[in-house]
Amino acid sequence: MIFAGVTVVIALMGLFALGLGSLQGVALAVALTVLVTMAASLTLLPSLLTVFGKRIERRVIRHAERTGKDEGHRWRRLADGVARRPWAPLTAAVVVLAVLTIPVLGMRLGFADAGNDAESTTSRQAYDLLAEGFGPGVNGPLFVLSDGVDEQNDGAIQETLASSPGVAGATPVQHIPDTDLATVMVFPESAPQDEETSELVSELRGETLPALQEQTGGSYLVGGSTAAADDFAEAVSDRMPIFLLVVVGLSSLLLMAVFRSVLIPLKAAILNLLTIGASLGVVTMVFGEGMFGVSAGPVEAFVPVMIFAIVFGLSMDYEVFLVSRMHEEWRRSGDALRAMREGLAATGGVITAAAAIMIVVFGAFVLSPDRMLQQFGLGLAVAVFLDAIVVRCLVVPAVMRVLGEKAWWLPRWLDRLVPQIPLERDDTVTASAPAAHEMSEEHTR
């Protein structure tokens, strides 16, 4: 439990690598919540079980006697079915995840405005009236700030900006008293969330304003809601490799230290990235392309990184819970097939039950009128569903079956370098290979 919580905290702390203050605050708050939950599980939960444990035990035993069945038998049947033909579910699941990931390539980041509000709200009605009367660009003007420009160049500045492609109009230059600063409001021909407005910002910064700078000798900056959204999205994109390296790298090293394996951390990282990509692909299709009647627009700039951090932590949590049971059985029996079967049988029900709770909680966000919460809830709900149902119940057992004993391989030189972090008790007996196989054959008979 401690190790699983640590992986979640590492994923959240990876947001600090982005260097964005707003995300750091959210990451710290969620990480502290996880730590408090861990502390309660180690202190409060045992106390409650001491008080109510016998009553809970009686109910569990009564339920088992009433059903008369081993709750893991269905999961063993599923594991046996996957073991017979592992490539079929593995290929199908990977193809589905890869197809769902494709829309991410066209994801456009930004921020929602009143144009995404419900038509019954006064903010949306005001937005539509302004766009109808003065053009869509009036709802998101760009602000050009000049420094060190003489007033005699005001006419040239306004004319140049107003005549730029994609600009509907520009206000006269307004000088700030007792400074060398001046401002101009530029109204795009397109709405604030349109891709054409982002292209206009790039055009102004890349060509129009550098030419004005050479002509007038001053310096120019472009601001406004669209420019700020573009800058935020660019900052996130530029620092994403560092974020991925920190989160994926540290989590993989921890898995390697716990399970003494090279392939299991690699498998976990690839599957987690596929799951997150598929969930973001669904968010892009629904909110970016406007499926199911949702107004098309950009995806909130900080939603992908928040979904990545939270889902990666939860996925590693599930990974530790499932594979640790497989690892325990592998150490006991030395039979890779039995380890896969018993690991899924022991944890499949708990994983799917926990996932169902989180899907309901995250899915409730979709009912919110706020577009950002809707994106956040849909992405998390889809990710948890795919990870718990598709990845943990089908892909991981299939991969473990295909890898067999190789799944637990670790080079000797690396074994000496990586510290040991045992999840099981130290007195767990690790059977030798011949004895383990004999145990497996006797159990089969």
Q: What is the pLDDT of residues 392-411, one digit of tens each?
A: 889 999 999 999 989 888 88
Q: Facing residues of 185 across strands?
A: 143
320 or 427, which is more confident: 320
Segments of the chain assigned to CATH 1.20.1640.10:
2-41+73-111+239-444
Query: What radius of gyration do the chain's Cα atoms show?
Result: 28
- Mean per-residue pLDDT for 130-144? 91
Segments of the chain assigned to CATH 3.30.70.920:
118-228
| Residue whose C-alpha is closest to residue 273's, from 322, 234, 309 | 309
Q: Specify burial of residue 95 (Cβ count, 10 A radius: 0-12, 13-18, 19+).
A: exposed
The CATH number given to 2-41+73-111+239-444 is: 1.20.1640.10
Q: Say if domain 118-228 classifies as CATH 3.30.428.10.
A: no
Running DSSP on this structure, what letter comes out for residue 418? S
Q: Can you tell me whether residue 358 is helix, strand or coil?
A: helix
- Report pLDDT digits (tens) over 326-344: 988 888 888 889 999 999 9
- Report pLDDT digits (tens) over 148-199: 888 888 888 889 999 999 999 999 999 998 888 999 999 999 888 888 888 9
Give the per-residue pLDDT at 434. 39
Backbone angles phi, psi at 429, to 5 degrees: -85, 125
Checking if the pLDDT of 102 tops 90, the result is yes
Checking if the pLDDT of 426 tops 70, the result is no
